[in-house]
Amino acid sequence: MDTNFKETIKPFFWVEHANSVSVCLEVGNYKTHIFQAWEEEGFEGNGYDWASLANVFVIEKEPKFKKVVKFDPEGSMFCAYSSELETLKEFIISFKQACENDKLILDLFSRAEID
C-alpha cells in the first residue's frame, strides 16, 4: 500500500481482508465541530452518524459508488467496505476531500438522517 495514499486519507485507515477491503475511522477526533453543530438534532458523532453523512455524500455527489461501497458502522467506528479495491480507494479519497470542505460537509450533513 502506497505510503502517500495512507497519508492522504488520514485519519481514515485502510484494512485489507481476504475477499474485500475496508476503510475505517475511529470516531471522536476528526471533524467533531461538524457533529457538535448538529448535536441538538440528536447526532453524537458516532460511526452511525458518519455512515449517514457518507451515504448523503454518495447519493448527492458520487452516485457511482452506491452499489459498490457499503457501510458497516459501529458506535465507535465508521467503516466502509467493498470487494473492489480501486473503487474504495477512489471513494475514500473523494470523501476525505469533501470532509475537508466544512461548507460542503455541513450542507450534506443537513440532509443526513439519524440511524
Q: pLDDT, tens digit, for every residue of 51-105? A: 999 999 999 999 999 999 999 999 999 999 999 999 999 999 999 999 999 999 9
What does the pLDDT read at residue 1?
A: 60
Containing 25, the helix (H) or strand (E) segment is: strand 21-26
For residue 72, what are the contacts with CB-CB under 8 A and spacing of at least 6?
22, 79, 80, 81
What does the pLDDT read at residue 79?
A: 97
On whether the pTM is more than 0.85, the answer is: yes
Higher pLDDT, 43 or 97: 97
Least Cα distance to 35 among 25, 26, 44, 27 occurs for 44
